[in-house]
Amino acid sequence: MHSRSSELFRAAQKRIPGGVNSPVRAFRNVDGEPFFVERAEGSRIWDVDGNEYIDYVGSWGPAILGHAPKAVVDAVRETATRGLSFGIPNSLEVELAELICQWMPSIEKIRMVNSGTEAAMSCIRLARGFTGRDKIIKFDGCYHGHVDALLVKSGSGALTHGRPDSAGVPKDLAALTISLPFNDVDLVRKAFRENEIGAVILEPIPANAGLYFPREGFLSTVRDECTKHGALLIFDEVMTGFRVARGGAQEIYGIKPDLTALGKIIGGGLPVGAFGGRAEIMDQLSPDGPVYQAGTLSGNPLAMAAGLAQLRELERIDGWNKLEKLGAQFEDLARDAIAPAKVDITFHRIGSMFCLFFAGGPIVDLAGAQRSDLKAFAKFFHACLKRGVYFAPSQFETGFISTAHSSSDVERTVVVMREAITEIAR
């Protein structure tokens, strides 16, 4: 097929490994080729060949107000006229820090970084520095960015490419990471009995191996074990933070982590991450404490302005309420569309996050997600894409609805899903 996108992809592959700057974008898991974006606005994205899509990827999470929301674009534009980067404190850093601490009360102090990966990596170093212990527990299928110690059974990108672990991660380092099946409290207790654990890191709502949920009592058991054994509990809310509720998943489940990693939404589409938690722990960071951490562009004024504008706008329009209504409408219609399907599909949703597993339920962990029929998913993906609906190009990703999606976008999407499900059954 000759198109501007395929021309660009040929050129990209000559100069960029795999033609992409992040692996899932290569569309390998759906046996395809990426389209190149011309522009995006609201719920829509246009490729360089003039095709229009209703977008449910939302830049993988940040675009909770849809693409190019006026409030955020205006804030960035206005801030840019006063300088792009200072490398010296600016007032926007304080404003964003105060707002996040207020909305997520487990965070007493916070530090800004430039990506979710950096946030998770810094949480691990800080937890090790604070507890003086090296071993950490993570959970199969939970993704915490491409941090060496955390690239063990890590879901999403790594899964999509069929290699759960990365080459280049020292064995000795990986040996300090214990990865357990999500939702298995007995194995958590056993790991604590047999090891001196410094920290447990998890996605409170795992959303990087498809989307599934903590069982009743799972998170509170992990919290209790950490407290009992003097380990720190780290919630990676890079995806769920400010999406599932104003105070993130920790607000929904009523659990107070010691540290939280944030990213995506708090940058309003610019490269931002942050990590924060109890003051006593955060005070171990340089320059106050012995745990080194730094960043030339951390707290960048454009990124801070974008994040602040996005969070304030979300609150102003009562975004979470709006997203729940749209999500519920989507779920109702989608369940009707799925019911007569000849293939097994399990639909999961919380607020504006959703996933269609091409597998029977229940799915409560990575092993469940991996039962999915990846060929059926790939066919479904392409059948939707050619009809103008862009879902993430991997079974192991989560879909996102934004406040810019309309009821009619959702209705149109489910019509397309119905046709796609019929097509793949043929």
Query: Catalytic site residues?
Result: 143, 236, 264
Is 293 a residue that touches ligand PLP (CB under 6 A)? no
Residue closer to ligand PLP (CB basis): 58 or 145: 145
Looking at residues 101 to 140 of the shown chain, list those that interact with ligand PLP (rule: CB under 6 A). 115-117, 120
**Rounded to whole angstroms, how far apart are CA atoms 397 and 211?**
7
How many C-beta atoms surround the C-beta of residue 322 within 10 A?
Answer: 16
Residue 21, classified by CB atoms within 10 Å of its CB into exposed (0-12), middle (13-18) or buried (19+), is exposed
DSSP codes of every residue in 182-245: TT-HHHHHHHHHHS-EEEEEE-SS--SSS-----TTHHHHHHHHHHHHTPEEEEE-TTTTTTTS
- Alpha-carbon distance of 312 to 4, in angstroms, equals 38
- Among positions 9, 53, 143, 320, the unique one binding ligand PLP when judged by CB under 6 A: 143
CA distance 234 to 256: 9
For residues 125 and 119, what is the distance between their CA atoms, to the nearest angstrom?
Answer: 10
**Residue 260 is a binding residue for ligand PLP (CB under 6 A):** no
Which lies closer to ligand PLP via its Cβ, residue 5 or residue 115?
Answer: 115
Tell me the residue nearest to ligand PLP as measured from the CB: 116
Residue 201 as a binder of ligand PLP (CB under 6 A): the answer is no
Alpha helices in 110-198, H assignment, sequence order: 116-131, 156-160, 171-174, 185-194
Interface with ligand PLP, residue 258, by CB under 6 A: no
55 binds ligand PLP (CB under 6 A): no
- Give 140 or 236: the residue with its C-beta nearer to ligand PLP: 236
Q: Which is nearer to ligand PLP, 110 or 238 (CB)?
A: 238
Q: What is the dihedral of CA 262, 263, 264, 270, to 10 degrees?
A: 150
Contacts of 11 (CB under 8 A, 6+ apart): none
> Among residues 144, 153, 223, 349, which is the contact residue for ligand PLP, using CB under 6 A?
144
Does the footprint of ligand PLP cover residue 200 (CB under 6 A)?
Answer: no
Name the minimum Å distance from CB 353 to ligand PLP.
Answer: 11
Indicate which single residue of 33, 47, 55, 203 sits in contact with ligand PLP (rule: CB under 6 A): 203
Which residue type is seen at 346? T
For residue 127, the minimal CB distance to ligand PLP (Å) is 16
In the window 265-284, what residues touch ligand PLP (CB under 6 A)?
273
307 touches ligand PLP (CB under 6 A): no
**Does 300 participate in binding ligand PLP (rule CB under 6 A)?**
no
- Minimum distance, C-beta of residue 248 to ligand PLP, in the bound complex (Å): 11
| Cis, bond preceding 362 (omega within 30 deg of 0) | yes
* Interaction pattern, residues 217-256, with ligand PLP; x per rule: CB under 6 A: -------------------x-xx-----------------
CB atoms within 10 A of CB 289: 15
Tell me the β-bridge partners of 109. Answer: 277
145 contributes a contact to ligand PLP by CB under 6 A: yes
Contact between 72 and 269 under an 8 Å Cβ cutoff? The reply is yes
Q: ∠ CA(226), CA(129), CA(290), 5° rounding?
A: 145
Q: Could you say whether residue 299 binds ligand PLP (CB under 6 A)?
A: no
Q: Which is nearer to ligand PLP, 209 or 333 (CB)?
A: 209
Q: Establish if 34 lies at the interface with ligand PLP (CB under 6 A).
A: no
Nearer to ligand PLP by Cβ, of 30 and 147: the residue is: 147
The residue type found at 127 is A
Q: How many residues bind ligand PLP (CB under 6 A)?
A: 14
Which of 233, 239 has the CB closer to ligand PLP?
239
Provide the binding-site residues for ligand PLP, judged by CB under 6 A.
Answer: 115-117, 120, 143-145, 203, 208, 236, 238-239, 263, 273
